Amino acid sequence: MDNSRITICILTAAYNEGESINVFYQSVKEVVNNLPYNFTFCFVNDGSKDNTIEIIREIAKKDNTVKYISFSRNFGQQVALKAGIDSIDADAIIMMDSDLQHSPSLIPELIAVWQNQKVNMVNTLREEDADLSWFKKQSSKWFYKLLNKISDLQLEPGQADFRLIDRQVAQALKNSKEHDVFLRGMIHWIGFKQAAISYKAQKRFAGKSKYTFSKMMSLALAGITSFSVKPLYMAIYIGFIFAFLSFLYLPYVIYSYWSGNSVSGWSSVLISVAFFGGLNLIIMGVLGIYIGKILIQNKERPLYIIQEENL
């Protein structure tokens, strides 16, 4: 196919990125203007509270290749990327963060790998940043280890939502009706031919990371519970283990009875009740997460609500 007829859309989700969104657009534009492809842009404003949408509107007025979606509220980055994929009609989509941590200079390499290796998607693997805090490094490692161990996924450490997907992959994602969106897991689950390149994350142009610890935990839970029922089996195993351990306490009870020391202290009883009560709550919590997912999915609410769009 003639490269000039190949359409590639740059997709980015923005939440309170008013300071960087225009710089991101200009930086990407400088790169793609030198490539022999038909490029378009899709910005998804994820309910920003600053002037992000105003800047996007101004960009769209000056450049008719720029389209945008604006949510009624903040639905999260994963949902924002899914909304963009749902609305884009292109031969390939390149997903990038708008804070410039995903360097636009990698766009030609992503396209080259896609075309030369005849794959359906090109993922990126983030190299470890020496400037990151010890907690950030360790939490990232623990996240992937836990996710791979306790779910049916096998994600490589450092895999991010910076990737190229072709039309076939995009269509598979469009067909997905899952309410709890975890794109890294969905990308792995749908298969297709994949390749990967490594990159070093750049420093944020402005602002601070929107991924707080609680959001990272929510993402981890979404990945685990959306692609595996192993936690349910683990709850069963834990129940059996502690039921067995409780039988080991029986000889002590019999000994105490025959020795005349059958009156036990209230503290030991209280500790036992508290321990097993906590264990029951953990198991019920695991069950509750899955039941809650079923409830939300069956309500069939829209995954996102668009307040404004220019498509």
Report pLDDT digits (tens) over 1-49.
677 789 999 999 999 998 889 999 999 999 999 999 999 999 999 999 9
Given a cut of 80, is residue 61 above it in pLDDT?
A: yes
**Phi first, then psi: what are they for 306, rounded to 5°?**
-90, 120
Q: What is the CATH number of the domain that holds 167?
A: 3.90.550.10
Asked if residue 199 and residue 180 are part of one domain, the reply reads yes
Neighbours of 168 (CB within 10 A): 12
Same domain, 126 and 264: no
Same domain, 203 and 262: no
Is pLDDT of 265 > 60?
Answer: no
Strands 38-45 vs 66-71: parallel, antiparallel or unpaired: parallel
Phi and psi torsions of 167, nearest 5°: -60, -35
The answer to whether residue 267 scores a pLDDT higher than 50 is no
Q: Do 169 and 291 reside in the same domain of the chain? A: no
Same domain assignment for residues 47 and 171 = yes
- DSSP character at residue 35: S
Distance CA 279, CA 283 (A): 6
Residues 123 and 244 both lie in one domain = no
| 38 backbone dihedrals φ, ψ, rounded to 5° | -95, 100
Give the strand pairing for 92-97 and 7-14.
parallel
Order of strands, edge to edge, in the sheet holding 92-97?
A: 194-199, 121-126, 163-166, 92-97, 7-14, 38-45, 66-71, 306-310
pLDDT digits (tens, 9 = 90+) for 293-302: 676 666 667 8
Same domain membership, residue 27 and residue 60: yes
pTM over 0.75: no
Give me the mean pLDDT over the 208-227 stretch: 60
Whether residues 49 and 186 fall in one domain: yes
Total number of domains constituting the chain:
2
Instruction: Name which of 115-119, 219-223, 285-289 the model is least confident about.
Output: 219-223
Regarding whether 120 and 11 lie in a shared domain, the answer is yes
Out of 34-48, 76-90, 110-124, 214-228, which region has the weakest mean confidence (pLDDT)?
A: 214-228
Q: Quick one: what percent of the chain has pLDDT higher than 70?
A: 61
Coil, helix or strand for 114? helix
Which residues in the chain belong to E strands, given as ranges? 7-14, 38-45, 66-71, 92-97, 121-126, 163-166, 194-199, 306-310
Q: Classify the C-alpha dihedral 59-65-71-77 as positive or negative.
A: negative
Asked if residue 141 has pLDDT above 60, the reply is yes
Q: How many CB atoms lie within 10 A of CB 124?
A: 23
| pLDDT top residue among 227 and 117 | 117
DSSP sequence for 153-202: --PPTTB-S-EEEEHHHHHHHHH---SS--HHHHHHHH---EEEEEE-PP
Domain that holds residue 210: 3-227+305-310
Tell which wins on pLDDT, 128 or 32: 32
Kindly give the interhelix angle for 213-226 and 183-190, rounded to the nearest 10 degrees: 30
- Considering the domain architecture, whether residues 84 and 186 belong to the same structural domain is answered as yes
Instruction: Work out the number of other CB atoms within 10 angstroms of the CB of residue 177.
Output: 8
Average pLDDT score over residue span 118-124: 92
Same domain, 90 and 218: yes
Looking at residue 189, what is its pLDDT?
Answer: 79
Whole-number pLDDT of residue 180: 74
- What's the whole-number mean pLDDT along residues 238-257? 63
Question: Are 65 and 161 members of one domain?
Answer: yes
